[in-house]
Structure 1
Amino acid sequence: MDFNNINNSKEYILHHLHHLQLNLNTFKIVNFHDIKNTFWIINIDSIAISFLLGSIFLIIFYIGSKSFDNENPKNLQIFIEIIITFIESNIKDMFKKKNELIAPLSLTVFTWIFLMNCMDLIPVDLFPLISQYELKLPFLRIVPTADINITLSMSLGIFFLVLFYNIKNKGLFYFLKELTTKPFSHPIFYIFNLMLECISLLSQPISLGLRLFGNMYAGEIIFILISGLIPWWLQWTISLPWAILHILVITLQAFIYMVLTIVYLSQTCKKN
């Protein structure tokens, strides 16, 4: 769809809510009026921007590590140290066991999600217009965490780590014993316990992904509604206060995701 052919607010909103999607069967860009087989459709924009922001995160922290100086720390080094100290303090409060993965994983989760959330603060028309007129792309959504595929994919990664460390730390037999003997120890309740524990385990990645997606999608919707329904000369009166509030939201969502990741992994440690 061309921006020039958007005749009403509904078309404008639908345009901004449509991903740059590729149908793997036909290798053609999918129009939002013609979505039939969603299983073989991937959101190119969410994947590309996620990798781009992940690369930016790695590059910034790599440069910071190479310029490390205890005697005369630079601004970038101070900024990185603040983030690392903040994350380490949270890990010490919630994760009592020693694990070489938990610190870098928490740092990656918090920083990467924060960068993806920050894309929601960019004006909604800026990158879609650039992509259309410079790159000839019909659609573009730049907030990866407003895509449920991205948030659930990340939470599934955490879920597999939870399963792996449950088996590694407790042993397969003890892990299965936990699933079948809690909360009721009588053998007659083993099947019931297993059903409850499986539901509890599966709820972790689902709630983790849906919470982040729901909050970021709602924030994106509000920005699009402000841009699509309010005259341009009045938009700043609402979009500016909402953007200021949204700075707190995007930081809080990254923090909550990190904290829940630490909590879920801390539950994999075998109790003495």
Structure 2
Amino acid sequence: MSPAVLLAAEGGEIHIGKHWTVSLLGFTLNLDTIIATLVAGAIVIGLGLWVARRASVGKPTKLQIAFEVTKEQIEQQVEDNLGIRTAPWVVPFAFAIALLILFSNLLAILPSEEWLPPPTADVNLTFGLSFVVMLAVWFTAIKRHPVRFFAHFKNPMAIIEEITKPISLSLRLFGNVLSGVIMIQLIILLFPVWLFWVPFTAWKLFDIFIAVLQAVIFTILTIIYFGQALAEESDAH
């Protein structure tokens, strides 16, 4: 196996956390995660540009319909939790997060997993995404309700809750995607070459379901956190 893989089956063992790394200014960078994230981001941008150029009211493509349905579902979640007029910018933010996570997760179904593992199977990326989300949530809460935001820290449980939000958000995504990668390695180890393609194919199909589900969960929780930050204002609507 290449050092780029997250998991390497060597001598009948599975080694977790192997990455293709490089040192830069005293930091160790996981290049496989960075490249895979860039690939997922490029796919999202490329598909977005393709849909925008070929968008049609009369004869929409299947991809355009998929994008529009996804956007409508996110708009509905934002409307239910915040009110569109309260925070219209949350829709494109959540939409971008959802698509990036979705296509990052879907890299797990490619046969090139050895060289291009799903970046969401690396806790560094999932925690980074969660931290960006929470920074946006905290900034929004401070901007809209500064007194209320800082006042609620009088309760020690509120401090713990704010700390655990990005941790739980990142570990949930990381754990589910990583478990799928582990399962593939277990299937390769446990089944003979002539037979392993059956459970391998079945699990890859299940990976698609997990990829979509985890993207949905992350996006909904993101919207809910924004809803909590704008609770008073959203109640007015």
Same-fold status (TM-score > 0.5)? yes
Cα shift at 1:60:
0.9
Cα shift at 1:2:
6.3
1:20 paired residue number: 20
1:7-34, CA deviations, whole angstroms, 9 ceiling, x for partnerless residues? 6222xx33x8511111225xxxxxxxxx
2:121 paired residue number: 146
Q: Is residue 112 from structure 1 mapped to residue 87 from structure 2 by the alignment?
A: no
Cα shift at 1:83:
1.9
Which of structures 1 and 2 has the bigger CA Rg? 1
CA contact (8 A) 1:162 1:268 kept: yes
Q: Which runs of no fewer than 5 residues in structure 2 stay unpaired?
A: 4-8
Matched pairs, number? 227
Cα distance in 1 for partners of 2:10, 2:144 equals 59
From the superposition, tell whether residues 149 and 77 of structure 1 become closer, same or farther in structure 2 (CA, over 3 Å): same
CA contact (8 A) 2:108 2:117 kept: yes
Cα distance in 2 for partners of 1:170, 1:161 equals 14
Cα shift at 1:227:
1.4
* SS of structure 2 residue aligned to 1:267: helix
Cα distance in 1 for partners of 2:43, 2:131 equals 23
Q: CA RMSD in A?
A: 2.2
Cα shift at 1:230:
1.9
Cα shift at 1:73:
2.1
Cα distance in 2 for partners of 1:88, 1:94 equals 10
Alignment map for 1:2-151 (pairs within 5 Å): 8-10=11-13, 13-14=14-15, 17-24=17-24, 40-96=27-83, 98-123=86-111, 126=112, 128=114, 140-151=115-126
From the superposition, tell whether residues 7 and 165 of structure 1 become closer, same or farther in structure 2 (CA, over 3 Å): closer
Cα shift at 1:228:
2.8
Letter in 2 for 1:47: I
CA contact (8 A) 1:17 1:141 kept: no
From the superposition, tell whether residues 100 and 201 of structure 1 become closer, same or farther in structure 2 (CA, over 3 Å): same
1:172-198, CA deviations, whole angstroms, 9 ceiling, x for partnerless residues? x33212222xxxxxxxxxxxx1x2211
Q: Which runs of no fewer than 5 residues in structure 1 stay unpaired?
A: 26-38, 129-139, 181-192
Q: Is residue 207 from structure 1 mapped to residue 182 from structure 2 by the alignment?
A: no
> Where does structure 1 differ by over 6 angstroms across 4 or more consecutive aligned residues?
none
Q: Is residue 264 from structure 1 mapped to residue 228 from structure 2 by the alignment?
A: no
CA contact (8 A) 1:19 1:45 kept: yes
TM-score by length of 2: 0.87
2:153 paired residue number: 179
